[in-house]
Amino acid sequence: MCWGLAGLCGARTLPLSDSTSTSKSFDVMDYGAKGDGMKDDTDAFAKAWNAACSAKGSPEMIIPSGNLFRVGPIQFTGPCESNHVHVTVEGDIVGPPPSSWKGASKETWLVFSHVNGLIVDGSGKIDGHGPAWWAQACRQNKGDICANPTALTVEYSSDVRVSGLNIVNSQQMHMGIEQSTSVTLSHLTIRAPGDSPNTDGIHIQGSSSVTIENCNIGTGDDCISIGPGSSNLNISHIVCGPGHGISIGSLGKGTEKANVQGVHVTDVNMTGTTNGVRIKTWQGGAGTVSDITFERITMDNVDRPIIIDQYYCDSNYRCQNKTSAVQVKGVKFIGVRGTSVRPEAVTLACSKSVACTNILLDGIDLKTVDGEKTVSYCLNAFGSAKGQVIPKPCLD
């Protein structure tokens, strides 16, 4: 998949106005939105945000229920006058087809940028109308660039809470968190078909102090992916599947220096995913992955439950052997239980030049779907096992 949530070259960026309105509620219908699914309501959303962002106190932008709003690429840009901006999404938002983007960047769709103190919640649906985009995705067509939009992006922001939304059939990734701090995502439902390309549920990059909890995610790529520059992440009570599991990486592509630290993933149920919990790095990179915990993970019919893969190579590329690598250390797998599709349930394939160190396997119980014996594979992986560990550990 493609990392990086680039800025919008041609999307509508919203300047602050000089409004001194005392109103605290800003309904998009009052700014010209029709909500009929036909008219382009982008300008109405822009005006409502501009008014809310310019207001003092605790302004609320309202996207009312019972309506379908067609909205093009847009940036809801701060900083705002208030550090308590509330966006209530009860109506449904649908994206336009690729032909309607009119020169705007196709890397992002709905973006909150440079906003400090933001709540986005409600029971509304954000629908990217992905099928029109998936046919031209780079994973489907090897010569194409990975430039389909992320449905909802939070960037360069802090003290953000997003909850309750249904995000479906994104053009590419469903939600991205980039260059932000103190972000909480909760009670989100994210769905796309299992064969939809590059449709990660949530991608985090360059961000710290991020909490993801009580979310139900099923897509055609990683349920949650963690990119470079991420730290202090707490992920818990997640239902994942279909998809590619929860992944740190890929990291270190093209000699990139990538650091990820302080990631704690707990209480996750995975069903029918191609991977379970995974760390993946390219050969030739640099940096460190450290202080990682995967705990109380339940696997049901998962193809590869536990993976460290330091030889990751996307099928679009012909990869050469390289000696440098991202260092992986201090990784704990605790209480990982359930069923594996294949006998090799634990794969720890570490760099020959930079070993994985301080790996802990504690209370692992993985059997095949048929109840047969499972096995482990290790390459240059050092650490220890504690308690019952099935399959038999192979750590040095």
Q: In this predicted structure, what is the pLDDT of residue 4?
A: 39
Helix H or strand E segment including 43: helix 42-54
Tell me the pLDDT tens digit for each residue of 75-95: 999 999 999 999 999 999 999
User: Measuring CA to CA, how many Å separate 373 from each of 304, 342, 368, 376, 379?
Assistant: 14, 10, 7, 10, 21
Amino acid at 106: K
**Which tokens is 373 given?**
């014996």
| Gap between the Cα atoms of 357 and 381, Å rounded | 6
Residue 172's SS3 state is coil
Q: What pTM was computed for the model?
A: 0.92
Q: What is the DSSP letter of 101?
A: S
For residues 14-26, one letter each, b for 16 or more C-beta atoms within 10 angstroms of the residue's C-beta and e for the rest, the string is beeeeeeeeeeeb
pLDDT at 15 over 70: no
Mean pLDDT of the chain, nearest integer: 91
Tell me the pLDDT tens digit for each residue of 37-76: 999 999 999 999 999 999 999 999 999 999 999 999 999 9
| Cα of 231 vs its chain's centroid, Å | 14
**pLDDT confidence tier of residue 368, bands split at 50, 70 and 90:** very high
Q: In this predicted structure, what is the pLDDT of residue 377?
A: 98
Q: In this predicted structure, what is the pLDDT of residue 185?
A: 99
**pLDDT confidence tier of residue 99, bands split at 50, 70 and 90:** confident
Q: In this predicted structure, what is the pLDDT of residue 1?
A: 42
pLDDT > 90: percent of the chain: 80
Domain residue spans of the chain: 65-390
| Cα of 49 vs its chain's centroid, Å | 25
Mean pLDDT throughout 141-168? Answer: 87
**pLDDT confidence tier of residue 103, bands split at 50, 70 and 90:** low
Exposed (0-12), middle (13-18) or buried (19+): which is 99, by Cβ within 10 Å? exposed
Tell me the pLDDT tens digit for each residue of 262-304: 999 999 999 999 999 999 998 888 899 999 999 999 999 999 9
Closest CA to 173 of 113, 219, 135, 139: 219
pLDDT at 9 over 70: no
Cβ neighbours of 371 (radius 10 Å): 7
Q: What is the DSSP letter of 29?
A: G
pLDDT at 307 over 80: yes
Mean pLDDT throughout 198-220? Answer: 98
CATH of domain 65-390: 2.160.20.10
Q: Answer for the pair 183, 209: CB distance below 8 angstroms, yes or no.
A: yes
**pLDDT confidence tier of residue 105, bands split at 50, 70 and 90:** confident
In the beta sheet, which residues pair with residue 134?
Answer: none
Q: In this predicted structure, what is the pLDDT of residue 396?
A: 80
Residues 6+ apart with CB under 8 A from 384: 359, 360, 361, 395
**86: annotated active-site residue:** no
Q: Answer for the pair 166, 123: CB distance below 8 angstroms, yes or no.
A: yes
Which listed residue (86, 174, 203, 244) is catalytic? 244
Positive or negative: CA dihedral 41, 43, 48, 50:
positive
